[in-house]
């Protein structure tokens, strides 16, 4: 249905433009008719000889390099509402068929198929593992000799870096859509229907529906993030060119967790044992509203009204950021929590336990 709607919009625009051009061409003609003026010319149309390879830009090279490593993913979903289809993108991890995408692309899917650029037929795919909290999923197709994408070194992304988003935006026919922009910000945290996502890259490269799960790459053709969400305006606010990608730092960790999950290793989230509230005074951090007796937070000495500023050196910009940071840590892991209390910065160490179901 989405593809049909888009085609209708394109058609409507074409019709409007056609009418405008026709009116402009007839502007000034009298109703009684006038003699038409015909101009003849023998001047040739100028056509480039192709010696100047304008297409050999850095972005063009990146698009060519990743073309075989980005796929379109179609999921068939069956639910109480009658089901439907979800479309997204994915990036090839291994030559033998591992593909990474967003968890929400394959959520509740009864069937998943993958199509590579240049191919006409889809390939059946199996969901190996999914992590909705981090919005990443691992799927696999029966194949060999695939071209795997290269991932950037963690910590190498900088604000202002030129980046390219590649994916099957709006499920348009043909190859993947390529857009470019810069890294606008790092370590963003947002809340989604599945929970909080942290350590995100913010970019102004255009990201649309269908781009989900596709790569954000640098000018070396290295994957720096997995595109996952965009900010949309409402009646209270405007949002332009604000998209988010899960950073390579987070992606590489979650990939290994997904592979463990696929092998049957149960994944448990870390648990601190606190209640939280957002700051309303414009300051940074999350406010502790409750500390469960005997919890890791209680044993560490954290108190109600403490403001959490950072976990293991990573700034906490709000309660969603703290939830995500603790969720991503493993039970038994000791984390350093920076607190603001009575005008002082204090650091506490808390050894997390597993979250109970």
CA distance 280 to 283: 7
Active-site positions read: 104, 135, 212
Residue 4 CB contacts under 8 Å (≥ 6 apart), including other chains: none
Residue ending a domain, choose from 242, 262, 282: 262
The count of domains in the chain is 3
Is position 126 within any domain? yes
What pLDDT score does 39 carry? 64
Structure tokens at 59: 């972005």
CA–CA separation, 31 and 41 (whole Å)? 29
| pLDDT for the residue numbered 35 | 56
CATH of the domain at 296: 2.30.42.10
Across residues 83-94, what is the average pLDDT? 91
- Is residue 333 packed enough to be buried (19+ CB in 10 Å), middle (13-18) or exposed (0-12)? middle
Mean pLDDT value across residues 309-322: 88
Instruction: Give the mean pLDDT of 160-170.
Output: 93
Which pLDDT value is given to residue 239? 65
Determine how β-strand 274-278 pairs with β-strand 162-167: unpaired
Give the Cα-Cα-Cα angle 318, 321, 324 (nearest 5 degrees). 150
Residue 15 is assigned to a structural domain of this protein: no
d(CA 35, CA 38): 10
Whether residues 63 and 122 fall in one domain: yes
Residue 24 scores a pLDDT above 60: no
User: Average pLDDT in the 76-87 region?
Assistant: 80
pLDDT at 348: 96
Residues 334 and 298 sit within 8 Å (Cβ to Cβ): no
HSE, side-chain direction, 13 A CA sphere, residue 129: 18
Range of the domain at 189: 150-262
- Longest CA span, the chain: 96
- The predicted-structure confidence for 140-150, as pLDDT tens digits, reads as follows 999 999 999 99
Of the residues 141, 160, 193, the one at which a domain ends: 141
In a domain, 171, yes or no: yes
DSSP state of 57: S
Instruction: Examine the pLDDT at 270 and tell me if it is beyond 60.
Output: yes
For residue 11, is it within any domain?
no
Q: Rounded distance, CA 96 to CA 142, Å?
A: 7
CA pair distance 189, 197, nearest whole angstrom: 6
Report the mean per-residue pLDDT for the chain. 84
């Amino acid at each position: 249905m989405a593809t049909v709607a888009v085609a209708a919009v394109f058609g409507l625009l074409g019709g409007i433009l056609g009418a405008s051009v026709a009116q402009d061409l007839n502007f000034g003609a009298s109703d009684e008719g006038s003699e038409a003026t015909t101009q003849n010319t023998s001047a040739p149309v100028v056509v480039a000889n192709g010696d100047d390879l304008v297409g050999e830009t850095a972005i063009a090279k990146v698009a060519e390099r990743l073309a075989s490593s980005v796929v379109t993913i179609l999921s068939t979903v069956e639910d109480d509402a009658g089901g439907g289809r979800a479309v997204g993108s994915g990036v090839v991890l291994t030559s033998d068929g591992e593909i990474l995408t967003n968890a929400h692309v394959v959520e509740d899917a009864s069937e998943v198929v993958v199509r590579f650029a240049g191919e006409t037929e889809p390939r059946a795919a199996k969901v190996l593992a999914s992590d909705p909290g981090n919005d990443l999923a691992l799927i696999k197709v029966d194949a060999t000799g695939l071209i795997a994408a290269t991932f950037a070194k963690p910590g190498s992304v900088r604000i202002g870096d030129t980046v390219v988003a590649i994916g099957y935006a709006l499920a348009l026919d043909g190859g993947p859509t390529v857009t470019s922009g810069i890294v606008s910000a790092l370590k963003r945290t947002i809340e989604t229907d599945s929970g909080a996502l942290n350590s995100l890259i913010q970019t102004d490269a255009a990201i649309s529906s269908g781009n989900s799960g596709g790569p954000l790459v640098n000018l070396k053709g290295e994957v720096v993030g997995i595109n996952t969400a965009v900010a949309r305006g409402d009646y209270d606010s405007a949002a332009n060119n604000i998209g988010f990608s899960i950073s390579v730092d987070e992606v590489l960790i979650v990939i290994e967790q997904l592979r463990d999950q696929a092998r049957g290793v149960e994944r448990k989230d870390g648990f601190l044992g606190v209640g939280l509230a957002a700051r309303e005074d414009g300051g940074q951090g999350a406010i502790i509203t409750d500390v469960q007796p005997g919890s890791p937070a209680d044993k560490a000495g954290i108190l109600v009204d403490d403001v959490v500023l950072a976990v293991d050196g990573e700034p906490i910009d709000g309660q969603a950021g703290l939830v995500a940071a603790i969720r991503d840590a493993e039970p038994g892991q000791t984390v350093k929590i920076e607190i603001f209390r009575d005008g002082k910065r204090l650091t506490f160490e808390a050894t997390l336990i597993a979250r109970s179901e």
